[in-house]
Amino acid sequence: KVPFTGLPGTNYERTFIAIKPDGTERRLVGEIIGRFEKKGFKLVGIKILHPTPEQAAKHYDDLKSKPFFDGLVKYFSSGAVVCMVWEGKDVVKTGRKLIGETNPALSVPGSIRGDLCIEVGRNIIHGSDSTQSANDEITLWFGETEVTNYESPLEKFIYERK
Ligand code: IDP
Ligand code: MG
């Protein structure tokens, strides 16, 4: 049985990806899911919810000393967020590459932020920045029974060896 935060000690990881309220409002959910899906990553958890300011503050706890923290909490709790767990080889690091830089203005075209948004305070998507924060964030947003395991026969076409 795969632990719900992913297989420890391997590159076969899980990451927490969230479409922020602006991404959901702008109807970018399908576009964003499509990019992770087409890459070959596997969706193992998904739900939509409207975070409380307390949940948002907990999620961004490491940034609480930043001047933009209050605005960030307000932004993240301003509407519906699509919370997801994606699984695959090096998905934490590669997921961040698919997303782009924190500031959309510095994100290359082809990345999600580079293609779909303009300002750092409205950058439409969150992705875990390390396997440790991925584990913490999956545990914060999902219950153990809300993340699934399934084998896909397709994986032999995505991975040379599994
Ligand atoms: P990340 O989302 O790329 O991991 P972090 O540095 O973890 O970036 O910051 C979390 C979020 O806080 C960013 O995605 C962005 O929405 C917001 N943020 C970061 N820096 C600024 C800033 O300078 N002004 C306003 N918002 C910011
Ligand atoms: Mg971050």
> Annotated catalytic, 50?
no
CA distance 98 to 74: 25
Q: Give the mean pLDDT of the chain.
A: 95
pLDDT digits (tens, 9 = 90+) for 29-39: 999 999 999 99
User: For residue 47, what are the β-bridge partners?
Assistant: 83
pLDDT digits (tens, 9 = 90+) for 133-146: 999 999 999 999 99
Q: Which of 19, 59, 69, 72 to mutate to test the pocket of ligand 1 (most atoms within 8 A of CB)?
A: 72
CA distance 28 to 90: 24
Which string of DSSP letters, residue by residue, matches 24-76? Answer: HHTT-HHHHHHHHHHHT-EEEEEEEE---HHHHHHHTGGGTTSTTHHHHHHHH
Atom of ligand 1 nearest to the CA of 60: 10
Tell which wins on pLDDT, 7 or 142. Answer: 142
**DSSP letter at 133?**
H
Given a contact cutoff of 8 angstroms between Cβ atoms, the answer to whether 42 and 88 are in contact is: yes
- The pLDDT of residue 162 is above 70: no
Annotated binding site: 20, 68, 96, 102, 113, 123
Longest dimension (CA), the chain: 48
